[in-house]
Chains A and B, each alone.
Chain A
Amino acid sequence: MKLTIQVNEGPYQHQSSDTAYHFARAALEKGHEIFRIFFYHDGVNNGTRLTTPPQDDRNIVTRWSELAQAHNIDMVLCVAAAQRRGLVDEGEAQRNGKDATNIAAGFRISGLGQLIEGGVQSDRLIVFGD
């Protein structure tokens, strides 16, 4: 089946991004297709490359980046949510006059339409949040 996964919470604060990650891996191992992972609300914080967790803890951001690279998954941070919370890529930095970027590998910033499209195009939408 074709899946879209929505993640509504940031890493570490809440378990939802961990659960979403384990679910995504299990789905891929079973041969299912992940059409898109859409990060909304504080979930956009999953996409900052500036996190530095302690060495004995999981690196949630890197883990997403590696999953996306290994399986060619489209990972989208909602632009409206990202702007509010300071998640910036090159395009956003130019558009909004910011002096830095912080988006991690494998993520892109795009509109809410990407979530709706995920719902329309996929067999199932699964939401992880608080």
Chain B
Amino acid sequence: MAMLHLVNKSPYDACSLNTAATIMKKGDQLLLIEDGVYGAIKNGKAAGVLKGLNISVLGPDLAARGISKDKLLDGVSIIDYAGFVDLVEANDNVQSWL
């Protein structure tokens, strides 16, 4: 039972990224959307909690916020809305950490 975890808030404002990252199980996937994309910045203080996790970020949200790919943690996938739909389909369930 793989789960897709959605985080939409900046980790510098809310605890949802930390909660999601620490409750995720092996095989689960994390998708950062809206202000959640700030969590994937490589040199950010919040990035530590993401080590070893399977992470995607929503490209349109990243672009809107002026965060370039080279700022991101290594191994993060950048996807579009169609990719978001595919992730929902590929996992058994979706948890929105609002």
Contacts and interface: CB of A to CB of B under 8 A. Distances in A.
Direct contact of A and B (CB under 8 A): yes
Interface of A: 1, 3, 8, 15-16, 19, 22-23, 25-27, 29-30, 32, 124-130
A42 to B, nearest CB: 13
B93 interface: yes
Query: Which of under 10, 10 to 19, 20 to 34, or 35 or more describes the interface residues of B?
Result: 10 to 19
Contacts of A130: 98
A30 B96 contact: no
Interface in B74-98: 80-82, 84-86, 88-89, 93-94, 96, 98
Nearest to B80: A26
A23 B85 contact: yes
B17 interface: no
B33 A124 contact: no
Given A19-B33, A22-B60, A29 B82 contact: yes
Contact of B81 (A3, A16, A23, A32): A23
B13 to A, nearest CB: 11
Interface in B29-83: 33-35, 58, 60, 80-82
B88 A124 contact: yes
Contacts of A27: 85, 88
A124 B8 contact: no
Contacts of B84: 23, 26
A32 B85 contact: yes
A114 to B, nearest CB: 19
Contact of A127 (B60, B81, B86, B96): B96
